[in-house]
Amino acid sequence: MTEENDVPCLEGPFSQDVESVLISADEIQDRVRGLGRRIDEHFAGKDLLLIAVLKGSVIFLADLMRAISIPHEVDFLATSSYGVSTRSSGIVRILKDLNEPIEGRHVLLVEDIIDSGHTLAYLSRLFRARNPASLEIVTLLDKPSRREVDIDVFWTGFSVPNEFVIGYGLDFNQRYRNLPFIGVLKPEVYESIS
Ligand code: IMP
Ligand code: MG
């Protein structure tokens, strides 16, 4: 049991780099379960393929899959990362393409966070050209204030303010993905690197 003022999830090796907890592990789990139910209803009776964008989406995908009860398959795609910067270059490179064709299938793209929108704008164009039966997007997080390109997002877990967030799959410089919550990274951490 913890005192009311304690932040029980702010423990562990990275706690000194976290400014604040934005979304707790419990809040994430509740929301992911809700998203699973909506996906069940929307895709009932359809050939559903979840496509996760590596690496940030893997933890969200792992929980989301288990919140979905209809049969489905998964595939993975990797795009270029930010390197050690906290800003998107706007240039998207495919590092690893899908294993399977998506023609005629109902595709749900699973993303960790939409920031400028460049990554998803590019991927939507790429996938539409492969003629799926449908193509929708589910993102755990959205930073609407940073959008540079319009994106049609079907489901969003949470809207977040314009801060660099880490945890639950999201990294800075490949670290912090294992935090069970979504937290704000202390600016001095990225200012010291980038
Ligand atoms: P976009 O192309 O600018 O929309 O960037 C999308 C990608 O940038 C996401 O899939 C993340 O991998 C990464 N990203 C954007 N904002 C953050 C953040 O606050 N924390 C960690 N990664 C982020
Ligand atoms: Mg990503």
Per-residue pLDDT for 17 more than 80? Answer: yes
Q: Please report the pLDDT score of residue 193 as a whole number.
A: 73
CA atoms of 57 and 177, how far apart (whole Å): 10
Quick check: 104 and 133 in contact, CB under 8 A? yes
Q: Please report the pLDDT score of residue 192 as a whole number.
A: 78
Cis-peptide, bond into residue 55, ω within 30° of zero: yes
**What one-character DSSP code corresponds to residue 172?**
B
Cβ–ligand 1 contact at 112 (below 6 Å): yes
Taking alpha carbons only, the member of 88, 125, 124, 94 closest to residue 109 is 124
187 or 23: which leads in pLDDT? 23
Q: pLDDT averaged over the chain?
A: 90
Please confirm, yes or no, whether 115 is among the known catalytic residues. yes
Per-residue pLDDT for 166 more than 80? Answer: yes
Q: How many residues does the chain have?
A: 194
Per the structure block, which two tokens stand in for 20?
């604040």
91 or 28: which leads in pLDDT? 28
Can you tell me whether residue 79 is helix, strand or coil?
Answer: strand
**pTM value?**
0.90
Angle between helical axes of 58-67 and 25-42 (0-180°, round to 10) = 60
Tell me the CA–centroid distance for residue 57 and ligand 2, in Å: 6
Tell me the CA–centroid distance for residue 37 and ligand 2, in Å: 23
Per the structure block, which two tokens stand in for 165?
């967030």
| Mean pLDDT (whole number) for 32-54 | 97
CA atoms of 105 and 27, how far apart (whole Å): 32
Per-residue pLDDT for 4 more than 50? Answer: no
Taking alpha carbons only, the member of 84, 164, 192 closest to residue 182 is 164
Among the listed residues 17, 47, 97, 115, the single catalytic one is: 115
Tell me the CA–centroid distance for residue 113 and ligand 1, in Å: 5
CA atoms of 122 and 50, how far apart (whole Å): 17
Q: Please report the pLDDT score of residue 190 as a whole number.
A: 82
Read off the pLDDT of residues 56-108 as tens digits, 9 standing for 90 and up.
Answer: 999 999 999 999 999 999 999 998 755 555 565 567 889 999 999 999 999 99
Per-residue pLDDT for 152 more than 70? Answer: yes
Per-residue pLDDT for 21 more than 70? Answer: yes
Kind and range of the H or E element at 122? Answer: helix 118-128
Q: Please report the pLDDT score of residue 89 as a whole number.
A: 58
Per-residue pLDDT for 140 more than 90? Answer: yes
Nearest atom in ligand 1 to 114's CA: 4
